[in-house]
Structure 1
Amino acid sequence: MTESIEGLQSRLDDLEDRVDALEDEKSDLEDTVQAQAEMIASQRERLDEYEETLSVSSDHRKHLQQRVHALEDSEDSDETSQSKSPLQQLISLPSKAVSKLTANQERARFIAKDIHEYAKKVPAGYAIDSGTIRKVLKAKEDRTPHTQTVSRVMDFLNQLKKEDVQVVKRRGTKRAVFTERAVSELGSTSSPGGITDVVMRWR
């Protein structure tokens, strides 16, 4: 009987040892799980930071691309504008800009737009005299313009295109003489452009 009790005690001790071992293993496993959970959380945080960095980089790249495109468009616009003479830019002004011109500037623009119809062919190119300008403006405004008005319109044309337009006086009559190149350029100008500093100075 005594041996049986001792045997049971030994078995009980073994069971307790196994329980302790299992508890230790469980504790170790829990520690491992906790460590892995922390590692996963850390990796997820790093991934979130990486994604945020990528997003910021992408936005920055898009912003730079937009700036580059804007600069390219601006340069193209400037080149297109600069390739036109002041007189070409004047006649291709959009309606909003035309409304800001003075009366005489608008008259000069009106004459220049269809100069090939009003001017006569001469050895130097095409010439339109003050009398013809007066008739054109009279038909446009239904009243005879003052002599000073005609003179100012001619001077304005002369200032805008000095190399291709020259105001001269022949036999007591003032004439604005356009070179063939100027008339050709004006005839081919159709797209809207920007008002030039030259035009603004004469406002």
Structure 2
Amino acid sequence: MNETTTPTESTATDQSTTEELTLEAVYEQLETLTGRVEELEAEVERKDERIEELEAELTEYKRFAGSEFADVRGRITDVEEQAEELETTLQETPTATTTVDAEENGSQTTTTETPLERICTLPEHVADRELTTNQERARFIARDVRDYAEKAPAGLVLDSQTIKKVLTASEGSNPHTQTVARVMDFLAKLGKDEVEQTKRRGKKLVVVDEEAADRYHDRCDRDIEQAPVGGVMS
């Protein structure tokens, strides 16, 4: 005798099969999504590693660029110093100037006008045209040296820190250490016997004769609009 399936039993079987198929599809989709998430996580990890590499490269580049910039700046400074040194070397022997001391005895006396005193007499537009940057700085210091220097038995004393402060106040930026050294060199070279460069307790100093300092200041006030006679740096 054959068994027969009732409509109710058939419907239940079909429903069970459908649910199994649906659940299987859900599992497949879940596995697919899980795999995709794992791929995305791996991709994010690779990008994080690449970002770290790029950051390391950027840091190294900044370090290298900073080193290169400092090297280039140093070379420029060296060239400027060589040019200024050559210009100083080519200076001629200071000329003699005759003055009359009418108040004492009316006799003529001969004094030597140093290049530093001469450039203190220059009008600003002439100084801008004739002098190098560090020579102008030396001129600026010399013209009012009494305002910056400390008075000592040897004369008016300026150290490198004082000159740096004066130039910073004048120009609005800190001068390089080598710039300060060059200005001190020019004060000594252009001032001849009136300015001495020395060291005390490891500090570099320039000592300016007091009478010379007065002349630098007086000449710049009196001759501010008068062009000098003869060579500026001779």
Question: What is the RMSD of the two structures over their aligned residues, measured on CA atoms?
Answer: 2.2
2:119 aligned partner: 90
Please give the TM-score of this superposition, normalised by the length of structure 2: 0.48
Which of 162, 182, 190 is the matching residue for 1:152? 182
Please give the TM-score of this superposition, normalised by the length of structure 1: 0.55
1:114-137 deviation line (CA, Å, top 9, x unaligned) = 001001101101101000000000
What SS is found at the alignment partner of 2:146? helix
2:193 aligned partner: 163
CA distance in 2, matches of 1:84, 1:162: 10
Q: Structure 1 pair 99/195, CA: closer, same or farther in 2 (3 Å)? A: farther
1:199 aligned partner: 233
Contact 2:117-2:191 at 8 Å conserved across structures: no
Q: Structure 1 pair 174/196, CA: closer, same or farther in 2 (3 Å)? A: farther
1:23 aligned partner: none
CA distance in 2, matches of 1:84, 1:108: 16
Segments of 4+ moved more than 2 angstroms: 82-85, 192-200
2:211 aligned partner: 181
1:42-84 deviation line (CA, Å, top 9, x unaligned) = xxxxxxxxxxxxxxxxxxxxxxxxxxxxxxxxxxxx758x863
Q: CA deviation at 1:95?
A: 2.6
What SS is found at the alignment partner of 1:126? strand
Q: CA deviation at 1:198?
A: 7.0
1:138 aligned partner: 168
Q: CA deviation at 1:92?
A: 1.0
Q: Structure 1 pair 196/106, CA: closer, same or farther in 2 (3 Å)? A: farther
Contact 1:97-1:195 at 8 Å conserved across structures: no
Matches within 5 A, 1:17-166: 84-100=113-129, 101-166=131-196
Structure showing greater Rg: 1
Amino acid at match of 2:141: I
Query: Per residue, is there more helix in 1 or in 2?
Result: 1
Q: CA deviation at 1:181?
A: 1.6
Structure 1: tracts of 5 or more residues without a match: 1-77
Contact 1:138-1:144 at 8 Å conserved across structures: yes
How many equivalent pairs are there?
Answer: 122
Amino acid at match of 1:183: A
Amino acid at match of 1:194: P
CA distance in 1, matches of 2:147, 2:112: 25
CA distance in 1, matches of 2:142, 2:229: 15
Amino acid at match of 2:151: K
Q: Structure 1 pair 195/104, CA: closer, same or farther in 2 (3 Å)? A: farther
1:163-191 deviation line (CA, Å, top 9, x unaligned) = 11001011111111011221121222131
Q: Structure 1 pair 127/180, CA: closer, same or farther in 2 (3 Å)? A: same
